[in-house]
Amino acid sequence: MTLLDTLVAALGAGSVRVVDLTQTLTEDFPIIALPPELGQSAPVRIERISNYDASGPGWYWNNLSFGEHTGTHFDAPIHWHTGRDLAQNTVDTMPVGQMVAPACVIDCSAHTDPDHLLTVAEVQAWEGQHGPVPQGAWVLMRSDWSRRSGAAYANLQADGAHTPGPDAEVMRYLVHTRGILGFGTETIGTDAGQGGHFTPPYPAHHYLHGAGRYGLQCLTNLHLLPPTGAVLITAPLKIHHGSGSPLRVLALVSERV
Amino acid sequence: MTGPFPPPGRKNPLTLTRVPLLPPKARSRKAHLLTAAAATGRFALPCCGGCGAFAFPVPEACPVCLSPDLPMTDAPATAVLLSQTVAEVPADSYFRERSPWRVGLVKMDAGPTALVHLHPGCVTGDVVRLSLLLDRAGQAVLHAAPKGNTDMTTDPQWHEMTAHPRHRRVLITDARGFGAAQIAASLKKAGAREVVLGLPEAWKPFDGRGLDGLTVLPLDMGSERSVADFVRDHGHKVEIVVNTADHPRPMAAATPQALREALEAVALGPHRLAAALAPVMVARGADGPYGAAAWVNVLSVHALAPMPAMAVYSAAHATALALSHGLRAQLAAGGVRLANLFAGPLDSPGFQPMPHPKVSAGAVAGAVLNALTRGLEEDAIGDVARDLMQRLAENPKAVERDLRG
């Protein structure tokens, strides 16, 4: 019996569960909003080609359009200027082996401040309980922000978005000290809503992609994952020279034995 | 004053909705010279370049001197009512449904004698004021009303040939759009039964200031699903649409992406709404006295006269204008009219670097109400647009060179 046979059997028996960490790709899900004079991400658009009607009597299908960074999506290193010159920095060239990797979930959901920042102290407190964040693992910041919707989810104020995220120091720690594979959030970006005012601006993007690491955002169902032990399957669309892509993020969670 | 227009009760769901019929619409190509005047609210008649005589209807040659030179010329809009009658049982189905229908014979101060639709306050022998209106078939007809400060809204025939918002339900497509609050207030004040404002991207901030007492509903014209959901729920409750879609980006380079965004916002979005809503409006063109009446587009004058510095913006509005002609033809089957109002630079952040004068929100609201209450198909909003349209008619190349800067 191979390891895969064992896995398949465990999946069949339910001792390994598959958890969907993906938001449904819809037209009214908030996306990144930049100043109007800058280039904008195309929103998600789903347009009917036919619906068993005169345009196609026996079949239903749609045309899709969206920016690379819409819905639950993956950020490749080339997305940020710091990762622009790295090898294999696009979604079509990144190593496929890195599309399956373990995940650590840091629960920040007790913090109700929309501007809550994940800090080194918080990570180290988590490590005190669960052990060091392993090299090559995803770190997922659970905020329960995905339980919000619409305007409360985007939380755009006159001075920009107010959503939780990491501070600059913790990103240096996770990327350079722990060597994580990537960082994931439930909000629209891997950075905090006010991350543009940090030093450097947007530190999650800056450090992750500068080191060839990845980002995941707009995740959901993180409360269904254990602090350690889950395995993420994160396969972005193979877009030529793509900087990211919407994707289905699945987690394999094993029952404790 | 409600006059012959009491507020409507709720519709009896067991009665068959009246199919919209139209008045006779056959006209000669020459007669459309009058259509052009009526569409813009002018009272103009063919006037002989040789002898100066006015003519009506539009002849091939001057009936006095046979000159073929008969340019449309603003004419005195007064006449004497020679006689009048009321058609109690007209032979034409459209008029029979709306009988009794008053008509009169007038002797124009400009010279010609003509048969006119008649305001009920007119007295034979009195001086009357003439208007060229577009009837439900979109053709130019003459209407006479008592001279002076007459309340035109008490005339059911005038009501039939305009799109007064009284007792009608209005959709303003974008609650965040320029002038939305002012347009809504203006139409509400004019008697609109309900004003609904569409709110795209409801997840973005919206303070709703100035919209007290109005209804704001999710409507994202960029989303096929949002449009379909809106029309399923509310499409049969919209008698007037005011489309304010706009996307000014004065400093944007004319990239394909910028063009795509502008086209999506200004042309494709409203086109998506029209595809879903227009068939409903056509079907409801004669749904009681306050059936579907009008679609108003607030466009940029640069749809007509493209501005090189805002080529993308101009192209988007030109596309919207081209699409509006298709929509107008579609709506015409139900007697629903379409008005295109061409605005100069708006007094909004999108036109911040442009010189004054700019168009205020109040001016847009006034132009929308004016177009509806007079049944116009085309008008300028603001001096810049008016001047551009006039110069465009005279010498389009000069306008092109001027706009090049």
Alpha helices in B98-143 (DSSP H): none
In a domain, B330, yes or no: yes
Task: Based on the fold, state whether residues B50 and B180 are members of the same structural domain.
Answer: no
- Chain A CB contacts of B220 below 8 Å: 27-28
Rounded Cα–Cα distance for residues B202 and B34 (Å): 45
Nearest to A36 among B205, B224, B249 (CB): B249
Task: Based on the fold, state whether residues B48 and B116 are members of the same structural domain.
Answer: yes
Q: Looking at the predicted structure, is the pLDDT value of residue B148 above 90?
A: no
Strands annotated E in A95-155: 100-107, 117-118, 138-142
Give the max Cα distance, chain A.
63
Domain end marker among B160, B195, B227? B160
Look at residue B6 in the predicted model and tell me its pLDDT.
84
Which residues, 6+ apart, have CB-to-CB distance to B355 below 8 Å?
none
Place of tokens 């177009």: B371
Rounded Cα–Cα distance for residues A203 and A196 (Å): 8
Task: Tell me whether A153 touches chain B (CB under 8 Å).
Answer: yes
Which of A33-37, A223-227, A233-237, B110-114 has the weakest average pLDDT? Answer: A33-37
Q: Looking at the predicted structure, is the pLDDT value of residue B3 above 70?
A: no
How many whole angstroms from its chain centre is CA B314? 21
Task: Tell me whether A36 touches chain B (CB under 8 Å).
Answer: yes
Q: Do A47 and B224 touch (CB under 8 A)?
A: yes
* Interval B82-135: pLDDT, tens: 999 999 999 999 999 999 999 999 999 999 999 999 999 999 999 999 999 999
Total of domains in chain B: 2
* Interval A121-141: pLDDT, tens: 999 999 999 999 999 999 999
Task: Based on the fold, state whether residues B201 and B269 are members of the same structural domain.
Answer: yes
> Closest residue of A to B269, CA-based?
A45
The alpha carbon dihedral of B60, B65, B70, B74 has a sign of negative
Which residues, 6+ apart, have CB-to-CB distance to B247 below 8 Å?
B261, B262, B265, B266, B313, B316, B350
Rounded Cα–Cα distance for residues A181 and A138 (Å): 5
Task: Based on the fold, state whether residues B133 and B179 are members of the same structural domain.
Answer: no
Q: Which helix (H) or strand (E) holds A254?
A: strand A249-254
DSSP secondary structure string, B280-346? Answer: HHHHTTTSSTT---EEEEEEEGGGTS--GGGHHHHHHHHHHHHHHHHHHHHHHTTT-EEEEEEE-SB
Q: Do B220 and A157 touch (CB under 8 A)?
A: no
Q: Tell me how many degrees the CA angle A235-A87-A90 measures, rounded to the nearest 5.
A: 35
Strands annotated E in chain A: 16-20, 45-53, 56-65, 73-75, 100-107, 117-118, 138-142, 156-157, 160-161, 165-166, 182-184, 214-217, 230-234, 244-246, 249-254
Rounded Cα–Cα distance for residues B119 and B102 (Å): 7
Place of tokens 């439930």: A186
Task: Tell me whether A30 touches chain B (CB under 8 Å).
Answer: yes
Q: What is the mean pLDDT of chain A?
A: 97
In a domain, B26, yes or no: no
Q: Do A154 and B204 touch (CB under 8 A)?
A: yes
- Chain A CB contacts of B257 below 8 Å: 39
Task: Based on the fold, state whether residues B153 and B174 are members of the same structural domain.
Answer: no
In a domain, B198, yes or no: yes
pLDDT higher for B6 or A215?
A: A215
Rounded Cα–Cα distance for residues B279 and B256 (Å): 32
Cis check for the bond before A95: say yes or no (omega within 30 of 0). Answer: no
Q: Do B226 and A154 touch (CB under 8 A)?
A: no
> Closest residue of B to A65, CA-based?
B223
To the nearest whole percent, how much of chain A has pLDDT over 70? 99
Task: Based on the fold, state whether residues B190 and B149 are members of the same structural domain.
Answer: no
Structure tokens at A180: 């994580």
Single-letter code of the amino acid located at B238: V
- Chain A CB contacts of B225 below 8 Å: 27, 46
Which CATH superfamily hosts domain A3-30+68-254?
A: Putative cyclase (3.50.30.50)
Q: Do A27 and B225 touch (CB under 8 A)?
A: yes
- Chain B CB contacts of A154 below 8 Å: 203-204
Angstrom CA distances, A233 to A97, A218, B36, B340, stand at: 10, 15, 65, 53
Look at residue B60 in the predicted model and tell me its pLDDT.
93
Task: Tell me whether B205 touches chain A (CB under 8 Å).
Answer: yes
Task: Based on the fold, state whether residues B238 and B380 are members of the same structural domain.
Answer: yes
Q: Looking at the predicted structure, is the pLDDT value of residue A240 above 80?
A: yes
Nearest to A33 among B204, B249, B260 (CB): B204
Task: Based on the fold, state whether residues B120 and B66 are members of the same structural domain.
Answer: yes
Task: Based on the fold, state whether residues B241 and B365 are members of the same structural domain.
Answer: yes
pTM of the predicted model as reported, rounded to 2 decimal places: 0.92
Residue B259, Cβ density class (10 Å: 0-12 exposed, 13-18 middle, ≥19 buried): middle
Domain end marker among B160, B185, B207? B160
Look at residue B202 in the predicted model and tell me its pLDDT.
93
Task: Based on the fold, state whether residues B53 and B186 are members of the same structural domain.
Answer: no
Tell which residue, A15, A13, A22, has the closest CA to residue A233. Answer: A22
Buried b or exposed e, range A205-223, using 16+ CB within 10 angstroms: bbbbbbbbbbbbbbbbbbe
Nearest to B226 among A27, A36, A156 (CB): A27
Active site residue: A69, A73, A79, A206, which one? A79
Q: What is the ipTM metric for this complex?
A: 0.84
CB atoms within 10 A of CB B392: 16
Q: Do A28 and B252 touch (CB under 8 A)?
A: no
In a domain, B20, yes or no: no
Look at residue B151 in the predicted model and tell me its pLDDT.
86
Task: Based on the fold, state whether residues B179 and B73 are members of the same structural domain.
Answer: no
Q: Do A39 and B225 touch (CB under 8 A)?
A: no
Q: Do B204 and A151 touch (CB under 8 A)?
A: yes
Task: Based on the fold, state whether residues B234 and B134 are members of the same structural domain.
Answer: no
Strands annotated E in B182-293: 194-199, 215-218, 240-243
**Mean pLDDT (whole number) for A211-232:** 98
Nearest to B220 among A28, A30, A151 (CB): A28
- The range of the structural domain enclosing residue B307 comes to 169-404
Rounded Cα–Cα distance for residues A21 and A232 (Å): 9
In a domain, B189, yes or no: yes
Rounded Cα–Cα distance for residues B251 and B244 (Å): 21
Q: What is the mean pLDDT of chain B?
A: 95
> Closest residue of B to A148, CA-based?
B203
* Interval B341-352: pLDDT, tens: 999 999 999 999
Place of tokens 């196609």: A56
**Mean pLDDT (whole number) for B261-285:** 97
Q: Which helix (H) or strand (E) holds B115?
A: strand B113-118
How many whole angstroms from its chain centre is CA A92? 17
Rg of chain B over all Cα atoms, to the nearest angstrom: 22
Single-letter code of the amino acid located at A113: D
Tell me the sheet residues that pair with A118: A166
**Mean pLDDT (whole number) for B164-189:** 96
Rounded Cα–Cα distance for residues A170 and B274 (Å): 51
Beta carbons of B281 and B238 less than 8 angstroms apart: yes
Q: Looking at the predicted structure, is the pLDDT value of residue B363 above 60?
A: yes
Please give the backbone phi and psi of residue A87, each rounded to the nearest 5 degrees, phi first.
-75, 150
Give the max Cα distance, chain B.
69
- Residues 223 through 252 of chain B touching chain A, CB cutoff 8 Å: 223-226, 249, 251-252
Q: Is A209 a catalytic residue?
A: no
Nearest to B251 among A37, A39, A151 (CB): A37
Give the closest-approach CA distance of A112 to chain B in angstroms. Answer: 20
Domain end marker among B160, B188, B205? B160
Q: Do B224 and A33 touch (CB under 8 A)?
A: no
CATH number at residue B327: 3.40.50.720
Structure tokens at B363: 């001016």
**Mean pLDDT (whole number) for B276-291:** 95
Which residues, 6+ apart, have CB-to-CB distance to B196 below 8 Å?
B169, B170, B171, B172, B214, B215, B216, B217, B234, B238
- Chain B CB contacts of A157 below 8 Å: 205
